[in-house]
Amino acid sequence: MKRRPLEHGVFEDTEVARRYDREIRMWSLYTSKSFISAVKRWGISSGKALDVGTGTGWLAIGFAQGLHGVHVVGLDFSDVVLELARDNAQKSGVSSRVSFEEGDAQDMPFEDDTFDLVISGNTLHLLKNPVRMFNEIQRVLRPGGRFLVSDFRRSWLGILTEHVRSAYSAEEVRDLLRQSELQNWKVRDSFFWLSVLSEV
How does pLDDT run across 88-120, given as a tens digit for each residue? 999 999 999 999 999 999 999 999 999 999 999
Percentage of residues in the chain having pLDDT higher than 70: 89
pLDDT number for residue 2:
63
User: Does residue 171 sit in helix, strand or coil?
Assistant: helix
- What contacts 97, CB < 8 A, 6 or more positions away? 64, 68, 70, 71, 72
DSSP secondary structure of 80-147: HHHHHHHHHHHHTT-TTTEEEEE-BTTB-SS-TT-EEEEEEES-GGG-S-HHHHHHHHHHHEEEEEEE
CA distances to 9, 57, 60, 122 from 88, in Å: 23, 7, 10, 19
Quick check: 72 and 97 in contact, CB under 8 A? Answer: yes
DSSP secondary structure of 56-74: TSHHHHHHHHH-TEEEEEE
Mean pLDDT, the chain, rounded, equals: 89
Res 185 pLDDT > 70:
yes
Percentage of residues in the chain having pLDDT higher than 90: 70
Q: Which amino acid is at 106?
A: Q
Residues 46, 117, 103, 17, Cα dihedral to 10°: -80
How does pLDDT run across 127-136, given as a tens digit for each residue? 989 999 999 9
Res 9 pLDDT > 80:
no
Res 7 pLDDT > 80:
no
Q: How far apart are CA 169 and CA 23, in angstroms?
A: 25
Res 158 pLDDT > 50:
no
User: Does residue 6 sit in helix, strand or coil?
Assistant: coil
**Statement: 14-198 belongs to CATH 3.40.50.300:** no
How does pLDDT run across 51-93, given as a tens digit for each residue? 999 999 999 999 999 999 999 999 999 999 999 999 999 999 9
pLDDT number for residue 45:
92
| Confidence bin at 47 (pLDDT 50/70/90) | very high
User: pTM to 2 decimals?
Assistant: 0.91
